Amino acid sequence: MRFLFYFTFLLIVAGCKESALEKKLSVTDILIVQFYNEEGLIEKAVTTTVKPAIQKLVHFLNGSPAKTFDCVFDGKLIFLSGGNEIQQVGFKFDQNNCRYFSILMKDTVINTTMSNEAADFMSSLERGEGHY
């Protein structure tokens, strides 16, 4: 019985740990979201200092691992702290069969799946809607 209690406790504690990415991005005070046009040029940029919006996007980055896709990015997230860039993340959200985030961490590209909720959030940002 005691073993079961400790095992359950460890599972709960382990499940609450921040990922390395969440820890790195926890100091973000400015987020820039750049949306590209079909030529890959910046068509629109949205900047926010609203912590709940930043935290929501950071949470979305922790999707399950994704394969490498052939589709081109729709834009880029740029996380800043104190005016210094701490992380860039490429994203694709406007194709149902090709939605993902692409993160470069420690010389390794990590692709994570983008949920429907994350894609809807990105779409609302692109349209200029400010609800988080």
pLDDT for 20 equals: 87
H or E element at residue 43: strand 42-48
User: Using 50, 70 and 90 to split pLDDT, how confident is the model at 18?
Assistant: low
H or E element at residue 2: helix 2-15
What are 57-105's pLDDT values in tens digits?
Answer: 999 999 999 988 888 899 999 999 999 999 999 999 988 889 999 999 8
What are 26-57's pLDDT values in tens digits?
Answer: 999 999 999 999 999 999 999 999 999 899 99
Which of 102, 99, 90, 103 is CA-nearest to residue 119?
99
